[in-house]
Structure formats: structure tokens, C-alpha cells
Structure 1
Amino acid sequence: MDVVSYIRFSAILSLLLLHTVYANELPNIIFAMADDLGWGDVQYNGGNAFTPNIDKMAQSPNTILLQRYYSGGPRCSPTRGTVLTGRNHNRYCVWSTTGGTNAPDFTVPEPLALPLTEITVAEVVREFGYSTAMFGKWHLGDFVPITGGNKKWPVSHPGLHGFDQWWATERSTPTCTPNCGCFHSICLHGHYPAKETACMNYHTNKSDEILGWPDAVPGDDSDFLWNLSETFIREQVKSGKPFFLYLPFHTVHVHYIATEFYRQLYLKKNYSSDQADYYGAISALDVVIGRLRELLEELGIRNNTMFWFTSDNGPARHTPGVTNGLRGRKSSLFEGGVRVPGMIEWPAVIRSNQVSRFAVVSSDLLPTVYDILGTKPRDDRPMDGTSILPFLHGTEQSRNKTISWAFAIPGGDFDGHYNVTIAGDRYKLMAVYGKGEVQHHELYDLVEDLGETKDIAQDYPDITTQLLAQAEQWRSSVINSVHKLGCLNSD
């Protein structure tokens, strides 16, 4: 047997052995996602925040550090939809966040909540005996009916999408409430004396009812989510059931506030008060990542737990968040808006630390889970993600599917238009649509020009033409999905 044949044989044997493991013991799954955490906000990418636990996870011998990890959208709600469904958010009319609309020629209805017809990761794994939990920021629909109705965001809470246990806010909330300690009224003072803001109410399932949480929840929000997560994980280990934990942190979305302990870490180094809150909140989240990894080790389940850590989009404008040279920020489809920190730790499968340029997107989670479970989607609805299980096993070195986005352009020369973007292993096309046609397009080489400073569309007409055709094909598919769902306005 020659060397090439031996390598292929070994890879196939490895896959067979792993599938045997899955048949006997399904892996636990944790998907932890920060909010508005920029590419350059973590230490391993040159950030100012102290993130020793995230860095330790990135350097683990059982981790693949994904240096081309992408959020499925450039804002909160869109990405959250892609995580759960494996599909681009435009397919089910979650155009943007609350109150956002898409460009008129992209079918334009009001933005909706996550439709109950969408199939989520939680629903799929629950059919295989998993316990499921979601703790943190939902942002895919309201939890209780709004007086007078809410056309934009009808009731669509985590319990309707496969989660057995959940404690969640409908939208963002301060990352810490050091003064009044509440999540339910206008009470935030202190760091933001001129910016009093409504804390979001936590809701939870209890005896199949949706209950608000009116009592004070003082301190750091990430720490609160850790307490919920620890209890859930210990319960599942005791019961012997595999689990899926979806942990979408509120950090570091505005209003970001840190406890005094974390603020002092940065004030002592002469950072501003605003920076101390921003970086301090990140450090508090970092501690929770460390605690989770330690808990998995303590309970003896680290080996068989697939642990993802990432962010929902790039850093928000007017915050200390940085992209470390990437162009754009939150709401942009340039790299700074969608390329975010990302890594996967899974000792049973990943046997050596890797720093990879393999492109992964948040919508890859559900297809990967299907692959792990040895099952397929129950219908033929288009999936935008792809299984990265072969990549995790080391048998696939390049992505077999382009990554696609579509999002309205906020302001500038193309205000009111929308951007359809297609990214492959090397080249990225950005096509600006208006009145149903491409009004402008740009091509970038992400290997030679990570900052997207030079449009090379005229230098590579064949690649540009090919990607333009893919963009139009994908756009047509999305519009077809929207029509099938029936979420268009009548006017």
C-alpha cells in the first residue's frame, strides 16, 4: 500500500470508528456566542481585553481556531436565526433586528419573528433524546402578546422552538446592573446618568408557563448565565442524557457595564471609564468560558462535548470594539462586520491544535449536527450551511459550498439598496442590487487583501462573472423561499 492509499484508508477508518462512537454515545453540544464581540477584541487577535480563558481554549490541543469564522448576518437577529436553522435569515423574513426593514426590491414586508415552521437545532436533537436549554439573549420574537398586537414581532419564544429549559430576554440588556440590580424597569443609573435605559425583563419556562422575573438579578449578567448553565449541565450528567446548550451572551452589546472588580483591571492601566466597562464586560464573559471548560473536565464529559465559541457580528459603531484592520463593523458585509472570533473544541474528534483558514459560518451548525446524528433534513427546504464534520475529522481541506449573505445597505451612496455577497475560499464578491438588478459590484482577494482595500473585479472578469451568476442564483432561491413562506405584504 502506497503512502497516499494508506492516508486515505486511515481517514476512512477514522470516520467509521467515530460513527461507531456516535452510535453508542451522542456528543453533548455547547454553542456559546458573544454579542457584538469584534474580531480584534480578543487577546489572540491582538485585542486589549484580557481573555486568558478564551485564549487557553484557542490553544487547546483539541481545538481548531477558525480564523475565517463568519456570522450568518451582520446584525443580532439575523445571525441568531442562522445558528438555529442552518438557513439564511432572509429566507424566513428575519430581515434585520426589531424595526428594521429590507430593501424594497427584496420583497420588503415587515421583519418577522422566527416562524414556527422553521426547524431548529434544538428540535432536531430533542428527537434523538437530547435535553435542550437556551440561556441569554433570544432576539427572534416576543415572549408574550403585546397589547394591540405586534405585527413585526409576534410571539415566538424559545419554548416554541425546541428548548426544554430557557431563561431569556427578548432583546439586549445591560451586561451588568450594579446599582439597582433589575432587568424589568427603567432603573439604570451610575455609569450612564444621561442614558437611562429600560432593562429587559428575563422570562423563563416554568410548568409550561412563561413567567417574567420581577426580582432583582444584581451583578454581572454573564455570571448569572453561568449559574443557569452549570445547574443545567450537572442535571443532565446526573440523568445520563446528552444535552444541547445554546448560550447567547448579552456581552458586549450596549449598554456594556462591568462590575467594579473588572473595571479596576483596566482603570489601573489608564484605560478610560468607557473602555474599562467594555473590556471588563468581555473579561467577565471570558471567566465563564473558563468555568465551562473546567466543569466539563470535572464531570468527565469534556472528551465527548463539541464546544463552539464565537460572536454574532462585528463590533458596534461608537464603541471601543476593534476589527484589527478588517474593513467595516456591525451592519456591514465587509469582513469587519461578519468575520468574528470562532473556535471549536472537541477532544473526541480534534486531536491536535490547528489554526485554520477553512471558512465556517454560523449556519453550518445544524447541517453538522445532522451529519453527527447520521440523519438528514425532513424536507427539501434549501439549507445555506454545510456540514463541517469532514473538516473536523481532517478529511476535507477546502469548503465545498460558498457562503452567502444579503443585507440592506444603511446610508451612503447606495442607501435603500441591498448587498448580496458571495465568499469562496479566496475571492469575495459584493453585488449591490437596486430595482431588481445589480447596480454595482466589487471583487476582493481575501488572501492578498484582508482589509478589502482594492477592488479587483476588472482584473479578474471570469471570476467576477462566475460569482455574479452565483449571487443571482442564490438571490432567486431566497426570493422563492420568501414566497413559499407567504410573509409578503399585500401592498
Structure 2
Amino acid sequence: MRINNRFGSYFLAMEVTAAVGLLGCGSPDADTSGKPGAQPNVLLIVSDDQGYADFGAFGGRSDVKTPNLDNLANSGVRFSNAYVTMSICSPSRMSILTGRQQQRWGVYNYGASLPDSEITLAEQLKEQGYSTGMVGKSHYGSYAGPEAPEFPTNHGFDYFYGKEGGTMDYLRHKAADREDFTTKMANHLGIGPFWENEQLKDTTGYSTDIILDKSLEFINRHQRDPFFLMVSFNAVHLFTHQIPEEDLKKMGVEKVPDWDPETGTWAEYLEWYVNTVKPNTPEGRKRYLYHLHRMDDAIGALLGNLEEKGLRENTIVVFISDNGGSPRTYAINDPLRGNKYILDEGGIRVPMVVSWPEKIKGGRVFDKMVSGMDIFPTLHDALGMEMPRDREIDGVSLLPAIQGEVAEAPHEWLFWTGFHPTGEPKTYDDPDGALARHDRTYNGDLNGWAVRYGNWKLRFYGTSGTYGLYDLSADIGESNNLAKRHPELVERMMSRYYQWHENIKKNHEKYKVPASSEF
């Protein structure tokens, strides 16, 4: 049985949830790869710009319905104090795949790449005989195709079906859709065909459905092998106004026009880009939730398919958002302050779940500080794989904590940089132009930084040159600045940050990978 999410499952949440619950009976072609003692499968699910409050099990808002994510959280361990290594997509995704701080090879912003010399989870698992696949958004460098070192099939993935770049259009997936655009505009909007390994393939449909279908195909094709599948949704990244027309009609909301390439230049496109998102999208929160709920349906179908094939018990499922919810899509990060692009909690603390029914007791919450870069060593530990010995791995295995063997915090310290931590403040030819207004919209951290030490967090606000010290055990919303009350702690944490960053920068000569702006 397969749940059909294609049209209107958002409007049938109760029926979908009930259908998922019926998928535990197995199927005639179930294989021993999912049975006790077999090598576990690994399913890594990454959402895009998901708000911290936009997940029911994490204390979601009343308008949020994520029954399948909630079931996943209840089946495993929910990490309430989980972070990613950067407040934007590309750098944090690199860290998840490698277990290392991406600053080690010079990545502080969009536009940099994942060098040949870095080792990914896919490469490690492939060496262990796993079939490896990535479906969805690949955002590890430029739009350079299969020749680029960061292209998924060059970093251990046997199979890739997806698109490069930070934004993926939800609906336009043909080469012909790009014809009236400049290459720069089409790439920036994520318009055009999907890569299937080294071939571009035209397709039609809604991106979440396409990602689901190709993921199911991969699982079905490799159900008799141990497999590693990374499902990388573009939901709930902008542009969330893009919804199939029949669903817009069911929702009773008007269609928001996309950018018309005949209307002007790159500068004029940026004006549209800045003006089309929050607060100028009618019923924007409703549109955002459409994509969130459709992604939840797709996750339910993936988990249901594993149940049907007898694979769920011995599949390690990891879910994480790549960074905090965006201020431009109507995401909500309550009770955290801030959002994607900045180093407040709302930019870097994310929902994270690990579920492995055969080995991990479900229904638990782990409230100590962890990081997305811990996924790499945790999976090595769980699968009995040897870690790379020729490099420093910044993540640590969470398996002892997940299995309830230890209660100590896996990390005492965590560190974050801004986009240009040693650079000059950004200047603009036109202080009121689209690019300047874009940057003010998200108030990005350029030369700021942050440190976690136990329950304490120190923020350096680069633009103002001021510091904020917060006790997150009592003040998760970072509202009570204690820096003046604890100057010695500020000094210690500041000193430790600079010591850490100097150590990180020792790698830069080796890699020579410049950071650059998305724009």
C-alpha cells in the first residue's frame, strides 16, 4: 500500500494519519535486511528553514499539524537543545555530512564548496557496502553540475535526483521553463530540470511529491541491501507562495504571480525578490503551513513504506532542520529569539530527532547540548564503523546518550561564526536599494559570533560591537543580558572563542576555499 499525497492530502490530515497507522503489517516481499541482526538502514531527512515552533512535538503552535513528525519523535529521542553549525543552509549541511566545522575549509557563507578532500557520510557508508542516495536539494556549492567536486555523485552518493543551489522552485521543473530567464536568475530561483545522476531530466509536479516518489523508488529498489538515503526537502524554503493551482482553489487563496523575466534586469528582479515575501504575501502563514503539512505527509509515507516492507524497526531515521525558520516565509521560532541568518537561538537551534526502534527506547527527550555535526560520529558508532583518522572530527557520538547509558552533556563548548567574522562591515552603493533592504530584512550576522558554554551563551553583536550574555536554562528567549553582571565569564568565553577560531584558521592555507555571498 502507498499513501497518495499528490493532491489535497493537506486537506485530509486525519485520513492520512489513520492510513499511516495501518502500514505495520509488512508485505510479501519484505526482506531480511530489516530483520534483527542485519546491518541497519539509514534514512536522513533534512527540512529547509523549518521554524522551531513549526513541529508539534517541539511545542508547536496551535495552527501546526505534524502528526507524522510527532510520531517519529515519539518513536525515538527528541533533542530539545540541538544546534546546527551555521544560521544558513549550505554551511550547516556540509557540517551534517562531514561531522566537521565547515569553517575548517574556509566556509562562512553561501557560495563556497565542499572540497574533494572532505569525507562524507555517503563515502563512509559506501565503503561498508551500503547503497547510497540523495534526493532533493543539494546545496554544497555553485551551479556547476557533475564536474564540480561538491556534486553528490562525486562525494559518495551512488544515486542523486535533485537540484543544486539554495532555492528550488516548487513547480517549474523543465528546461523550457528557464528559456526567458538569464542563467543567473533561473539558478537563483531554482527553475529547471532535476539532475538524475549526470543527466538533466524534465519533470512535472510539486517538488515535495517528486522528492517523495524518487525516495520511495530508491527504498524499493534497495530494500534487500543496506541503504543510506538522504531526503533533502526544499520545504519550507521560500518561495512558499508557489502552490499547485487546484490546491490554491481548495484553500480559497489567490495565486501570487511569479517573477516575469520580461519585466527587467537583475536589479529589478531583486526588487521583486525582496518585496514578494513577508510581509507582502497575502495569507502568507497559511501558504507556509501548506508546504509544512505536505512535507509531513511525505515523511509519513516514507515511514509507512518502511513499515510495509518490514524495514522500519532496523532503520535509523534522523530528522533535522538545516537552520532556524526564515523571517521571510512566515516561519515561527517561538520561544526562541531571532531567525535564520543570525546567531540568536532562533537561527541556530533546530528540531532534531533520532529514531531506531530496534535499539533505542522511544518517547524520550534529551535536553543537553548537541549538534548536527554529531550525526556523522553517531552513525559511525551505531554501525560499528571506524572514524577517519587523518582529520579532526568536531562532532561526538550521541549513541551512549541515545541509549541511556550516560546523562552527561556531549559538548561543553560550541562555537559559531558570522558570515565575515574578520571582514569590514558591508557597504552598499544604494543604501535604500533592494540588496540593502534584503540584508536589513534578515539582519544577518556578518562579523558577529556566538559561544555556548554549558547553559551560558555569549553573543558578540558585530555591527554594534556589544556583547550579550544569557543563561539559557532560565532565559531561552535571550531577553535578559547578564554581561555586565558577569564580566569574568564574558572574558573567559570570548578568549575561548578566539582560541578556537585561530585553531580553525590553521586549515585555511591547505584548502584555499574563499567564502562568497549568495548574491
The TM-score, its normalising length taken from structure 1, stands at 0.79
Q: Give 1:321's aligned residue.
A: 331
Q: Give 2:87's aligned residue.
A: 74
2:154 to 142, 160, 166: 160
Paired AA for residue 193 in structure 2: N
Q: Give 1:11's aligned residue.
A: none
Paired AA for residue 245 in structure 1: L
Distance in 2 between residues matched to 1:278 and 1:425, nearest whole Å? 34
What is the CA-CA distance between 1:432 and the residue it aligns to? 5.3
Q: Give 1:235's aligned residue.
A: 221
* Sequence identity (%): 29
What is the CA-CA distance between 1:255 and the residue it aligns to? 1.3
Give deviations 1:16-68, integer Å, cap 9, x for gaps.
xxxxx99953221111011111111223333323322112222x3x3112222
Distance in 1 between residues matched to 2:179 and 2:319, nearest whole Å? 32
- Asked if the contact 2:453–2:493 (Cα under 8 Å) also holds between the matched residues in 1, the reply is no
Distance in 2 between residues matched to 1:444 and 1:248, nearest whole Å? 33
- Asked if the contact 1:173–1:183 (Cα under 8 Å) also holds between the matched residues in 2, the reply is no
Distance in 2 between residues matched to 1:283 and 1:94, nearest whole Å? 32
Query: 2:482 matched to 1:456?
Result: yes
2:416 to 399, 405, 414: 405
Paired AA for residue 31 in structure 1: L
RMSD of aligned residue pairs (Cα, Å): 3.1
Runs of 4+ aligned structure 1 residues displaced above 6 Å come to 409-412
Paired AA for residue 92 in structure 1: W
Partner of 1:466, secondary structure, is helix
Alpha-carbon distance change, 347 to 261 in structure 1, aligned in 2, over 3 angstroms = farther
Please give the residue correspondences for 1:263-278 in structure 2 after superposition, counting only pairs within 5 Å. 263=248, 267=252, 272-278=282-288
What is the CA-CA distance between 1:204 and the residue it aligns to? 1.8
2:450 to 405, 421, 424: 421
Q: Give 2:47's aligned residue.
A: 34
- Asked if the contact 1:262–1:283 (Cα under 8 Å) also holds between the matched residues in 2, the reply is no
1:470 to 482, 488, 496: 496
Distance in 1 between residues matched to 2:250 and 2:349, nearest whole Å? 28
Partner of 2:238, secondary structure, is coil
| Ranges in structure 2 where 5+ consecutive residues have no aligned partner | 1-33, 182-187, 254-280, 421-425, 427-438
Query: 2:135 matched to 1:141?
Result: no
Distance in 1 between residues matched to 2:249 and 2:54, nearest whole Å? 18
Query: 2:349 matched to 1:339?
Result: yes
- Asked if the contact 1:30–1:306 (Cα under 8 Å) also holds between the matched residues in 2, the reply is yes
- Asked if the contact 1:187–1:199 (Cα under 8 Å) also holds between the matched residues in 2, the reply is no
Query: 2:144 matched to 1:185?
Result: no
Please give the residue correspondences for 1:53-202 in structure 2 after superposition, counting only pairs within 5 Å. 53-58=68-73, 60=74, 62-98=75-111, 112-142=112-142, 144=144, 155-174=149-168, 176-177=170-171, 182=174, 185-186=177-178, 197=189, 199-202=191-194
The TM-score, its normalising length taken from structure 2, stands at 0.75
What is the CA-CA distance between 1:286 and the residue it aligns to? 0.6
2:369 to 338, 359, 366: 359
- Asked if the contact 1:43–1:55 (Cα under 8 Å) also holds between the matched residues in 2, the reply is yes
Give deviations 1:351-373, integer Å, cap 9, x for gaps.
23112312221111111122223
Q: Give 1:226's aligned residue.
A: 212
Q: Give 1:46's aligned residue.
A: 60
What is the CA-CA distance between 1:272 and the residue it aligns to? 4.7
- Asked if the contact 1:420–1:475 (Cα under 8 Å) also holds between the matched residues in 2, the reply is no
- Asked if the contact 1:135–1:166 (Cα under 8 Å) also holds between the matched residues in 2, the reply is yes
Q: Give 2:199's aligned residue.
A: 211
- Asked if the contact 2:107–2:113 (Cα under 8 Å) also holds between the matched residues in 1, the reply is yes
- Asked if the contact 1:30–1:246 (Cα under 8 Å) also holds between the matched residues in 2, the reply is yes
Paired AA for residue 126 in structure 1: K
Q: Give 1:259's aligned residue.
A: 244
Q: Give 2:511's aligned residue.
A: 485
Alpha-carbon distance change, 122 to 288 in structure 1, aligned in 2, over 3 angstroms = same
Greater alpha carbon shift after TM alignment, 285-294 vs 320-329 = 320-329
| Ranges in structure 1 where 5+ consecutive residues have no aligned partner | 1-20, 99-111, 147-152, 190-195
- Asked if the contact 1:81–1:140 (Cα under 8 Å) also holds between the matched residues in 2, the reply is yes
Partner of 1:408, secondary structure, is coil
Paired AA for residue 446 in structure 1: L
Alpha-carbon distance change, 375 to 219 in structure 1, aligned in 2, over 3 angstroms = closer
Alignment length, in residue pairs? 426
- Asked if the contact 1:308–1:343 (Cα under 8 Å) also holds between the matched residues in 2, the reply is yes
Distance in 2 between residues matched to 1:225 and 1:292, nearest whole Å? 11
What is the CA-CA distance between 1:303 and the residue it aligns to? 1.1
Distance in 2 between residues matched to 1:220 and 1:36, nearest whole Å? 18
Alpha-carbon distance change, 303 to 487 in structure 1, aligned in 2, over 3 angstroms = same
Give deviations 1:140-174, integer Å, cap 9, x for gaps.
1246469xxxxxx9552001100000012111445
Alpha-carbon distance change, 276 to 479 in structure 1, aligned in 2, over 3 angstroms = same
